[in-house]
């Protein structure tokens, strides 16, 4: 029995290998003579429709907004699975809920070590931010993300061509007549289609670019800034909760202003610097997450255009790692700043510096 | 040389120059990690704690490189 099973498995392995080879043959230029492509890079989230959402001016349906909804759905799904796991009443959780339990336990131990008795206030922020950013980052690695979308003519540098009933952007620096039979500009684009066309020499022919339906939300500065502002504001809230109005003496240090003539003044200046550093935390939070994830996306684009198969897999591995590290770093920095805010900036400052 | 070509040339050179700042972050991350690994070698029991602090330190050092990257991206994609 077991022997036939293992034999079946070996057989399945050959099938998978054959499928991979067929895919390589079909989609990477060996079969169709297609060149790999470097897609257009857009910094802000691209608009999918030109009319504002709900009639609110300035609020458009961008692809990063859809990425945000995707991340939210993942978090809701995790919540649902954990609810079901806890409801089942078994002591040892299995599957998704077990994995989430292990993750949250590790995070809580980390919080406990840093924040002590304020763990109950700080841990929810840490865990929420980490889970949300982690699911947002990892969603961006799914196939089809940033490759399937609307063809948008006008501001790209690629031409359009239909391959197997699917319109895609195409490199026709060799054959200029290819974009004659392009009529419908709103068509889907195949996952592998993006790896099919063009380098960046749009000369005279009108260009086209793909606006993907789905883009990981961490590559949108709006999201990272919003999250950073939430984190830094909550740091202040927890500081006030822990120390009351005494928290303000961290920034406006007038304790020794009159008792110690010169050093009191220096303390006051240091407090003002502390205020500036609090504001710069927002910037560094936002740009750290955005920069890492955006650079990762561009890296995957470039690698996919240089070597369309095998090599990008390693960079996907790297991005998996970077996405996790950045999620944990964002959460952990929030947690550390919150823990610092709960400690009074008294004379015994050096004890927990 | 026409203005458009000069603009593109300037953008590319500027973005490349902006990324020079990543040198410092690279050196910083190396120093942080080397210190952390030495500390873990001396005291393997404290490895978890050291690792946490190491990642924090790396995050701060890396922030500088991220600023460079942001400046480079702004030059390439945002500035007219």
Residue B35 confidence (pLDDT): 94
- Provide the CATH number for the domain around residue B37: 1.20.20.10
Averaged over A221-229, what is the pLDDT?
90
Range of the domain at B49: 3-78
Give per-residue pLDDT as tens, A125-159.
Answer: 999 999 999 999 998 888 777 777 777 666 556 66
SS (HEC) of chain A: CHHHHHHHHHHHHHHHHHHHHHHHHHHCCCCCCCCCCCCCCCCCCCECCCCCHHHCCCCCCEHHHHHHHHHHHHHHHHHHHHHHHHHCCCCCCCHHHHHHHHHHHHHHHHHHHHHHHHHHHHHHHHHHHHHHHHHHHHHCCCCCCCCCEEEEEEEEEEEEEEECCEEEEECCCCCHHHHHHCCCCCCCCCCCHHHHCCCCCCCCCCCEEEEECCCCHHHCHHHHHHHHHHHHHHHHHHHHHHHHHHHHHHCCCCCCCCCCHHHHHHHHHHHHHHHHHHHHHHHHHHHHHHHHHHHHHHHHHHHHHHCCCCHHHHHHHHHHHHHHHHHHHHHHHHHHHHHHHHCCCCCCHHHHC
Q: Is pLDDT at A192 greater than 50 in this prediction?
A: no
Given A291, A325, A328, which is nearest B66 (Cβ)? A291
Judged against a pLDDT cut of 90, whether residue A269 lies above it is answered with: no
Q: State the average pLDDT over residues A239-262.
A: 80
User: Whose structure tokens read 């946490």?
Assistant: B52
Contact indicator for A135, A181 with CB cutoff of 8 Å: no
Q: Residue A3's pLDDT is what?
A: 54
Token code pair at residue A126: 């840490």
- Contact between B66 and A287 using a beta-carbon 8 Å cutoff: yes
The pLDDT of residue A201 is 41
0.90 exceeded by the pTM? no
A18-32, A86-100, A103-117, A236-250: range with lowest mean pLDDT:
A18-32
- Give residue-wise pLDDT tens across range A45-92: 777 777 667 767 777 778 888 888 889 999 999 989 888 888 887 777
pLDDT at A6: 61
Determine the pLDDT at residue B28: 93
CB contact under 8 A, A329 and B59: yes
Is B77 within 8 Å of A287 when comparing Cβ atoms?
no
pLDDT at position A29: 57
Q: From B62, which residue of chain A is nearest by alpha-carbon distance?
A: A288
> Which residue of A109, A221, A295, A301 to mutate against B (max B Cβ within 10 Å)?
A295
Domain count, chain B: 1
**Average model confidence (pLDDT) for chain A?**
76
* Residue A171: CB atoms within 10 Å: 21
- pLDDT of A204 reads 42
ipTM, 2 dp: 0.70
pLDDT tens readout for residues B7-48? 889 889 999 999 898 899 999 999 999 999 999 999 988 887
Answer whether B46 touches A (CB < 8 Å). Answer: no
A291–B73 CB contact, under 8 Å = yes
Asked if residue A174 has pLDDT above 80, the reply is: no
Residues B46-70, mean pLDDT to the nearest whole number: 82
B55 and A328 within 8 Å at the Cβ level: the answer is: yes
| Buried residues in A246-257 as b, exposed as e (16+ CB within 10 A) | ebebbbebebbe
């Amino acid at each position: 029995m077991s022997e036939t099973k293992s034999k079946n498995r070996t057989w399945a392995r050959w099938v998978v290998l054959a499928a991979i080879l067929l895919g390589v043959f079909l989609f990477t230029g060996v079969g169709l003579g297609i060149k790999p492509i470097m897609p257009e890079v857009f910094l802000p989230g691209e608009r999918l429709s030109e009319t504002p959402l709900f009639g609110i001016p300035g609020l458009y349906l961008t692809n990063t907004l859809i990425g945000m909804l995707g991340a939210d759905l993942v978090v809701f799904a995790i919540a649902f699975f954990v609810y079901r796991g806890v409801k089942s009443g078994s002591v040892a959780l299995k599957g998704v809920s077990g994995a989430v339990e292990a993750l949250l336990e590790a995070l809580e131990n980390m919080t406990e070590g840093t924040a002590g008795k304020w763990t109950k206030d700080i841990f929810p922020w840490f865990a929420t931010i980490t889970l949300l950013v982690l699911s947002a980052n990892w969603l961006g690695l799914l196939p089809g993300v940033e490759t399937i979308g609307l063809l948008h003519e006008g501001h790209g540098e690629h031409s359009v061509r239909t391959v197997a009933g699917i319109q895609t952007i195409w490199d026709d620096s060799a054959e200029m007549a290819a974009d004659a039979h392009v009529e419908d500009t709103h068509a889907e684009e195949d996952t592998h289609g993006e790896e099919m066309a063009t380098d960046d020499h749009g000369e005279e022919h009108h260009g086209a670019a793909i606006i993907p339906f789905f883009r990981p939300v961490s590559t949108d500065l709006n999201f990272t800034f919003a999250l950073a502002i939430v984190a830094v504001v909550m740091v202040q809230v927890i500081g006030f909760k822990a120390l009351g109005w005494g928290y303000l003496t961290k920034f406006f240090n007038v304790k020794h202003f009159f008792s110690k003539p010169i050093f009191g003044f220096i303390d006051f200046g240091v407090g003002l610097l502390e205020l500036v550093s609090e504001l710069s935390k927002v910037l560094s939070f936002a740009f750290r997450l955005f920069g890492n994830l955006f650079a990762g996306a561009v890296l995957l684009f470039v690698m996919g255009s240089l070597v369309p198969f095998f090599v990008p897999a390693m960079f996907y591995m790297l991005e998996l790692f970077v996405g996790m590290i950045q999620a944990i770093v964002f959460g952990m920095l929030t947690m550390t700043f919150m823990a610092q805010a709960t400690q009074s900036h008294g004379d015994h400052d050096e004890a927990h510096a | 040389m026409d203005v458009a070509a000069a603009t593109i040339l300037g953008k590319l050179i500027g973005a490349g120059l902006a990324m020079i700042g990543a040198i410092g972050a690279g050196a910083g991350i190396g120093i942080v990690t080397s210190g952390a690994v030495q500390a873990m070698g001396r005291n393997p029991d404290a490895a978890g704690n050291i690792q946490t602090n190491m990642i924090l330190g790396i995050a701060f050092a890396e922030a500088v490189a991220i600023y460079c990257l942001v400046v480079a991206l702004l030059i390439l994609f945002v500035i007219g």
